[in-house]
Structure 1
Amino acid sequence: MRHWRLPDTHNIRDLGGYPLASGGTAQWRRILRGEALHTLTAEGLSGLVENELVLVIDLRGPHETGLHIHPFADHDRVGYRNIVLFNALSPIALAGPSFDMAQRYCDALDQCGPQFAEVFRAIANAPLGMVLFHCTAGKDRTGVVAALLLANAGVAEEDIVADYALTSSATGLIDQLRTRALSTGSDPMQVERMLASDAATMERFLAALNTKHGGIKAYLDAIGLSASEVDAVRNRLCQ
């Protein structure tokens, strides 16, 4: 089951099950992607721990992490890492009418290499068990990290795009974010653009990865990851 139906969450998903270029499929219960976790109930928290969650990677910035205590920040069985992604890019809250989400993703390839490398190293060095990475909605920062992980594993681009677009099915979460944004007086059309997870957005990101950066292998090498680190992350999904 790709969606983890945990109480009070909407967009926690498994990266397993996708066909691999090398044959077979990505392994289930190895790497999860998700939204902010502060809404987890005790039942949801224990459900993740009982399924051998060993590491949580929080991609949010301090303006987000300071709002709520993270349920895994001081957990006795699950490690917690805060690796801030997109921090150097313009905040979405300040985006104007000409804001281009796909370009934001492409800019991340240029500007967030050290952070992507840190995420890969955290996964490579994690103990046996599940790793969960997340941001606030589980769409943008989480989406580009998921795309890189799936590409590194040998998942076809059409499946990577489909995985990204699945966030649109998390209607409960999208409705909450829409209501929150509209309550601040944000332009409704702009809000819808910010909340969209159109396939074309991820297609542009993957095109930039391939044409500008030479593909996933060349990109991971360029941001300083060793072959053993790249293999360790791939093997986590593939073996």
Structure 2
Amino acid sequence: MNTPLSRHIAVAGAYNIRDLGGYRTPNGETAWRRILRSDGLHRIDAEGMAMLVEAGVVTVIDLRHDTECATQPNPLAGHDAVRYHNVSLFADLAPTGTSSGDVLLDLYIKALDERGAAIAQVLTLIAEAQDGAVLFHCTAGKDRTGIIAALLLALAGVETTLILEDYALTATMIAPMVEELIAGARERGVDPEAFMPLLAAEPVTMERTIAHIQANYGSVEAYLAGIGLSGETVAKLKNRLSGE
């Protein structure tokens, strides 16, 4: 009897490594151990790296910016069994004054509208990756990672309610690292009180993000076409998500 796969992959030094498999779609469910989302991997040791490779990880896409990568290097960047890519998803984007009352929503919308080329690059890397699991991550595995995960799940036909649940699960997963994140913000001269809203993972934020795509682009698939993804690349993403 096969042991059911776990959504959370427990690796010492990481808090939020999760499988995007097992979500209902019109044609069944998303495939397990094909696409993983994660928080930063800079704390994991050789044993942790071996666990990820054993879980099938062959491609890692680091969504952090240059300073994050320099100060907290990804240990898998030079691993013989892994192809490592760094695509700064937000680049110079930063939370600013909010027009919606939700600073993260404004940031996500700005990323979708202004960072289409980077999003297309990430999704193309996932589509073109060799057989095995692709792991993409940022620092907390919430914002940059959350946008890519939501686009992938929506493309697979996962209903919005489940996409929101996947997004919101991060709040529970990163709870043990909140103090570390606040300390890091304080070191950068950021007011901890002002930083706290950036740690949220409220379902309504992702719900409104998806609504923005539908209202302004028509659908996720139309959005992807608009940022330059070919039909062939979209088909490869769907195949990877379905396990074909």
> Into which bin does the TM-score normalised by the smaller protein fall?
over 0.9
1:102 equivalent in structure 2? 105
The CA distance in 1 between the partners of 2:64 and 2:46, in whole Å, is 22
* Per-residue Cα deviation, 1:80-127 (whole angstroms, up to 9, x for no partner): 0001111142x34xx468771101101111101111111111011111
2:51 equivalent in structure 1? 47
The CA distance in 1 between the partners of 2:72 and 2:160, in whole Å, is 36
What letter matches 2:143 in structure 1? D
1:4 equivalent in structure 2? 9
* TM-score of the superposed pair, with normalisation by structure 1: 0.93
1:172 equivalent in structure 2? 176
Moved more, 201-210 or 98-107: 98-107
1:133 paired with 2:145, answer no
* Alignment of structure 1 residues 106-121 onto 2, 5 Å: 106-121=109-124
Q: Which contiguous aligned blocks of 4+ residues in structure 1 show a shift greater than 6 angstroms?
A: none
- Is the contact between residue 88 and residue 111 of structure 1 (CA under 8 Å) also seen in structure 2? no
- Is the contact between residue 164 and residue 207 of structure 2 (CA under 8 Å) also seen in structure 1? yes
2:153 equivalent in structure 1? 150
* Per-residue Cα deviation, 1:35-87 (whole angstroms, up to 9, x for no partner): 11110121111001112211000001111111133211121110000011111
2:61 equivalent in structure 1? 57
The CA distance in 2 between the partners of 1:62 and 1:146, in whole Å, is 22
What letter matches 2:60 in structure 1? V
Identify unmatched segments of 5+ residues in structure 1. none
Shift of 1:233: 0.9
* TM-score of the superposed pair, with normalisation by structure 2: 0.91
1:222 paired with 2:226, answer yes
The CA distance in 1 between the partners of 2:195 and 2:153, in whole Å, is 28
Shift of 1:180: 3.1
1:81 paired with 2:85, answer yes
* Per-residue Cα deviation, 1:141-192 (whole angstroms, up to 9, x for no partner): 0010110011111111111111111111021122321233346564343222
Higher relative contact order (CA 8 A, sep 6+): 1
Counterpart of 2:135 in 1: which secondary structure?
strand
Counterpart of 1:66 in 2: which secondary structure?
helix
The CA distance in 2 between the partners of 1:81 and 1:183, in whole Å, is 28
1:14 paired with 2:14, answer no
- Is the contact between residue 168 and residue 174 of structure 1 (CA under 8 Å) also seen in structure 2? no
- Is the contact between residue 11 and residue 173 of structure 1 (CA under 8 Å) also seen in structure 2? no
Q: Cα RMSD between the aligned structures?
A: 1.7
- Counterpart of 1:193 (choices 193, 197, 204) is 197
* Alignment of structure 1 residues 25-44 onto 2, 5 Å: 25-44=29-48
Number of residue pairs aligned between Structure 1 and Structure 2: 235
Moved more, 183-192 or 160-169: 183-192
